[in-house]
Amino acid sequence: MSLPLTIPQLLALLFLAVIAAAIAELLVGNAPPFGFLGAIVLSLLGVCLFVNLPWFEVPFEPRLEDIPVVRAILGGIVISGLFAFVRKKRNI
């Protein structure tokens, strides 16, 4: 992913982050701090982190605006789900 992001790439990142946040909430059963908006922000962080990992690649991965889809969604699920899981354990 190139550093100067275009508007379609930014919208694709946001779209993938929303999908990852929804999946993470379904898996964990709880939203991270600040609800679904917080989940989207955390998923966006996870998407950016996992997309830029050079050692983690999925062969024949589909791309959306030159952004690897599987890595992006997986990164968003991991980061958002981790924070939601920690919040769930703390509230019990």
Tell me how far apart the alpha carbons of residues 86 and 64 are, in angstroms, rounded to a whole number. 31
Tell me how far apart the alpha carbons of residues 11 and 22 are, in angstroms, rounded to a whole number. 17
Query: What does the pLDDT profile of the chain (92 residues) look like in tens digits?
Result: 666 888 999 999 999 999 998 898 888 887 777 888 888 898 999 998 888 887 777 788 898 888 889 888 998 999 988 887 787 666 55
pTM of the model: 0.84
Phi, psi of 11 (to 5 degrees): -65, -35
Residue with tokens 């100067």: 4
pLDDT on residue 59: 80
Classify residue 38 by burial, with Cβ atoms within 10 Å: 0-12, 13-18, 19+: middle
Cβ neighbours for 20, distance < 8 A, ≥ 6 positions apart: 43, 46, 47, 72, 73, 74, 75, 76, 77, 80
